[in-house]
Each structure stands twice: as C-alpha cells, then as structure tokens.
A = this chain, B = another copy of it.
Amino acid sequence: MSICVRNTPRADKAVVEGFAGIGVATVHEAQGRTGLLASYMRPIYRPAHIVGSAVTCEVAPGDNWMIHVAVEQCQPGDILVVTPTSPCEDGYFGDLLAASLMSRGVRGLIMEAGVRDASTLTEMGFPVWSKAIFAQGTVKETIANVNVPVVCAGQLVNPGDIIVADDDGVVVVRRKDAAQVLEKSRAREEKEAKTRARLSAGELGLDIYGFRDRLAAKGLKYVDYEGD
C-alpha cells in the first residue's frame, strides 16, 4: 500500500519569506552545519535562488507517475522534493510538469534524478536542482508515497520543512527550527558583511580572527625560502 498525505503543515509564511536572499552556505552554517543535500544536486541554470515549503514525493526508478499525484498537493510557495527509491538518472520531469507546477505557484523542483527539456525550463524560468539532465523518458506503472518523510540526496526531508536552494546547493531546515535558524542566519549575514568590508580593506583574517597565537601553539613555524 502507498499513501498520499493531504493537508500537511507549512511553516509560518513570514518565516519562509524571511529566508529570501539568504544563501545556502549561510543557512547551513546557522543551523550548525546540518541539513545540506549531497554535492551532486546542481541547478540546471545559474544563478538561481529559491525558498519554500517542501512537498515530498517518492518515485520508483524510471517511473514518474507519483509526481502527478504530488502536483495536486502543492500550494503557492511550495517546493517539490522528489527522490527515487533506487538511484536513477532518467528524465523524470520536463516542461509539461513545470507548466503544471507553475500554474499552482510552486517555486521550484529538487529532483534526486534527471530532468529533461532543460532549455525550455530555463526559458520558462522554472528553477530545478537535479542530479542529471537527460532526455530518457519514464513510465507510469508503479506507485509510491507522497508527503511522507523521505531521504533526498542524503538528508531527511519532511513535508513542510523549509527548503533553501542556490548555486551552492540545497539545504533543508526543520519547520519547528525555522524561526530560530532565520534569526541566526540574519545575524551571521550582518557579521559577515562587516568582516568582508574589513577584508576588502586589506586587513588579514589572521588578525581579525586572532589566529596567530593558536597557529603558533599548534606548531606552525615561519621560515624564509632557501631554494634556488
């Protein structure tokens, strides 16, 4: 038996929108370096940057049937997160499904497999992070689950978790932790802006962060070049 769970919760709208413009690296740091999907999840065009609530979808290898089921569960502001039950590079998703998701206000797709119609998706401005771009088609024979917790590219994603994706990858934030992670992300951004200004002005990280003593204590020695 497979299930499709309806009426899953979303995070507070103000919190979700608060992540707009905050980078994946910052969010990942702000929540203690957790929640980052594997490095093979890459945007099909760059730059791209989205935030939204996860609708999760399992699919069989080479079978995109359940994506059609998941589409109906999507609301404006959602991001669809799809993961196959065994590794697959087939092109599960193309311009027709993108048109359907865009009509529902969905902000993007996180697909741990392949997608196709890459040039059309780019023209449409529908952002996708995937493992591959590949024209190989899929069938519609096998069912699986929608809106259950899934492991996508090495991370657990629950329906309603917040997804942030940009050129550096994809990070998932637990719904209940979102407000706190947002606050820490903003604090980090402010601090980094100040540090960046000092570094651009020529100050060294060695001095700003006070590394010189710790490095000496670990045993770092400076010597002059003696070759030639």
Binding site for B on A (CB under 8 A): 1-9, 23-25, 28-29, 33-34, 36, 38-39, 42, 46-47, 49, 60-63, 65, 68-69, 71-72, 85-91, 94-97, 99-100, 102-104, 114, 116-120, 122, 132-137, 139-143, 147, 149, 151, 154-156, 159, 166-169, 171, 192, 195-196, 199-202, 204-206, 209, 211, 215, 218-225, 227-228
Contact = CB atoms under 8 A, between A and B. Distances in A.
Given A47-B119, A118-B167, 16 more contacts: A4-B220, A8-B227, A23-B117, A23-B120, A28-B135, A36-B135, A39-B114, A39-B134, A62-B63, A68-B209, A71-B204, A86-B89, A100-B200, A119-B166, A151-B156, A159-B225
A3 B220 contact: yes
Contact of A96 (B23, B151, B199, B228): B199
A116 B166 CA distance: 10
Contacts of A222: 3-6
A173 to B, nearest CB: 13
